[in-house]
Chains A and B, each alone.
Chain A
């Protein structure tokens, strides 16, 4: 159904916000909820379910060609994460990969965007290291050399999610001059073909079904058809707010799911749960505030101002903190049943910690806000 180029939002199969919301919610509750433990713990990579989510419009609505509806994209991601944080995270990976492809303006990538947006092909993002490298937290892992018709890239990306043979991800490599000084960075779509061996990562405490691999590149040729941005910095500057804002959808789902779990046992355990702090109404009130701010920021995802970026960083940090608080409270409210290995509150504890440590982690966000708040002075 999506082989025809969609240029006019009303013609999109996902033009109706309410229908997208209902369909995504249906797939999430019918297919993700029963499989959440398998995905999180047994490493089941749910591309089949993601294909259905794609068909429902879960991966498209934030794109310009589908009306730049970031609010709707966030609500899809929240609904998915409410049932399965791993798939919520992969939804974010997939969403930002689509955003790179579209914002690149590269015709070769735009051609591939249709299938990506519909969940017919899958791709993630390998920007954890470069995002940290560009703000000075760590060194750039990939190095590129200019060659006729493109670049040759070498280096190893430690952990890249939502990739597999035949899939792809956005990546950034540093381009150095002959004297070793940094010239610029190039951003490209890394196609995982037989030139790219995927190495398994050590076992994580959760989120095992996110198809996360170590990616060693040895003289990998990047053609012009794969270029997302060259130089990369202005591009990153432009999409940075949107990139981080979308992550709030994962936090929102984990928080909402935690509140659901608390309310689910209120009838049986309310008489003792009343002594706990972080009761559902308090959590809901704080969550409503986070959601309200997210909705406002979703209206202008490409606002390049410092104040906007601060607002987004602050919201993202708040979302992480509230996920931690809400998931812990959910386990306490459920008691022993929440402590069962395959229970949702137990899983959400791990998901919430993932939200809090995935780039940008709480500490990175605070570090970055501190940097932005400081007045620059002459050296």
Chain B
């Protein structure tokens, strides 16, 4: 990425963070895709500029005050500590956010971070827009796990799976031995929920950087035909990203229109048309019966007897939280690990956040609440006074550039949708149950609203 050095008399380059999706605008790098050359000051960005990741405007960005968080002394692997300290399971956005939030308040508490993968830090929402930007896996890594662990004074157990928890003795058992904790924070995330007809050996799921890297490598050779199963948010975003990257995309869903259940048919129709303009073929009412390997390519068999020959198949069929650890530890579980307002599980020494939790019986798998959750947990585990975590349903933003979509609230199956504004390709709709507005949706609108 090209950057520019500030002139001598100028102040240093600043960075601004998108409150909605966490994207960082770096003045040194600019946003060349949107016509902002390296060295474009934030105040010089036009007001109608949009976040390249989620589409909100300038007003939803704020100055990123770099917290120079460092540990008192690096807590290396060999350091012996009488206090087991805090153990964080999972090195995704949630896991690292908790580590940073704890270090912000306390430089010395021993922290162990256990990660099933290498633990490098990257911004997960970028996975659904990175192919069309021609990015390589290394481009997405913002800080290597080793650098982050060193900076934050964290003992890192990478490529290590937690396989058991003993709440009574406060120990986690891993594939590299047993680790004791004074407090445990579960940030294990969720796993792709793959129906039986989509075999894991033939269908990609894009849920982490390693998954994405595998697909990226396969698609690097040149344009391919790709089938994406599931037209939810991830499916729609990936479809657009792949199409922009030059691939021929068929988007399959059992429903009549994309994002069914979240948006009404009129909006679905508009979204489908905008996808079609980019060459994405949306196939409604398509139930996949099986996927088979066929030499170098794959055959998708549909319930109606039709077949599709493609180079790659991507399953975007939703996520679920693995309940084995919670069950084994006796933690209350309801679609996710149940937590209270302090993000505490049914065991007082175990907290959880991010994709693996359920709040009032519902998982909430968005980026925006994670920072708040991390701060609440950090305060709770360090015994510092902090406001309870108040869960608000985040605004849903579909990162499709052709037809940006913003949804406030949670649509109900029995709600009535009505169009309140329409202008060209743009429309605003609202859903009411009785006289109450439960959700509003805007399509193709410049997104002026404040991020939740």
Contact = CB atoms under 8 A, between A and B. Distances in A.
A366 B116 contact: no
A366 B176 contact: yes
Interface residues of A, number: 23
A215 to B, nearest CB: 33
A299 interface: no
Contacts of A370: 161, 175
Nearest to B214: A377
Contact of A373 (B116, B203, B328): B116
Contacts of B168: 285, 289
Contacts of A311: 324, 328
A369 B324 CA distance: 13
Contact of B204 (A285, A367, A377): A377
Interface in A276-324: 285-286, 289, 293, 307, 310-311, 313-314, 317-318, 321
A313 B313 CA distance: 33
A155 B408 CA distance: 69
B324 A379 contact: no
Given A369-B163, A373-B161, A379 B169 contact: no
Contacts of B312: 378
B173 A379 contact: no
B266 interface: no
A375 B191 contact: yes
Contacts of B328: 293, 311
A373 B174 CA distance: 11
Nearest to B201: A376
Contacts of B202: 378
Contacts of A286: 166, 169
Contacts of B178: 321
Interface string A189-217: 00000000000000000000000000000
A307 B328 CA distance: 10
Nearest to B323: A307
Contact of A375 (B164, B169, B205): B205
B218 interface: yes
B323 to A, nearest CB: 9
Interface string A310-340: 1101100110010000000000000000000
Interface in A108-148: none
Nearest to B322: A307
A378 B204 contact: yes
B295 to A, nearest CB: 13
B340 interface: no
A377 to B, nearest CB: 5
Interface string B187-212: 00001100000001111110000010
Given A314-B164, A369-B175, A377 B169 contact: no
Interface string A342-379: 00000000000000000000000011011001111111
B161 A378 contact: no
A311 to B, nearest CB: 7
B169 A285 contact: yes
A286 B324 CA distance: 20
A189 B92 CA distance: 50
Contact of A369 (B161, B192, B200, B201): B161
A376 B200 contact: yes
Contacts of A378: 200-204, 214, 218, 312-313
Contact of A379 (B163, B191, B201, B211): B201
B168 to A, nearest CB: 7
Interface string B62-76: 000000000000000
Contacts of A374: 116
B211 A373 contact: no
A317 B178 CA distance: 11
A377 B175 contact: no
Interface string B135-177: 0000000000000000000000000010110101100010110
Contacts of A369: 161, 163, 175
A378 B218 CA distance: 10
A373 B169 contact: no
Nearest to A379: B201
Contacts of B169: 285-286, 289
Contacts of A293: 328
Contacts of B203: 378
A248 B329 CA distance: 20
Given A285-B168, A377-B201, 7 more contacts: A314-B163, A317-B163, A318-B173, A375-B211, A377-B214, A378-B203, A378-B218
Interface of B: 116, 161, 163-164, 166, 168-169, 173, 175-176, 178, 191-192, 200-205, 211, 214, 218, 312-313, 324, 328
9 contacts: A285-B169, A286-B166, A286-B169, A310-B324, A370-B175, A373-B175, A375-B192, A377-B200, A378-B202
Interface of A: 285-286, 289, 293, 307, 310-311, 313-314, 317-318, 321, 366-367, 369-370, 373-379
Shortest Cβ-Cβ A-B pairs, 8 listed = A376-B200, A373-B161, A366-B175, A314-B163, A370-B175, A314-B164, A307-B324, A369-B163
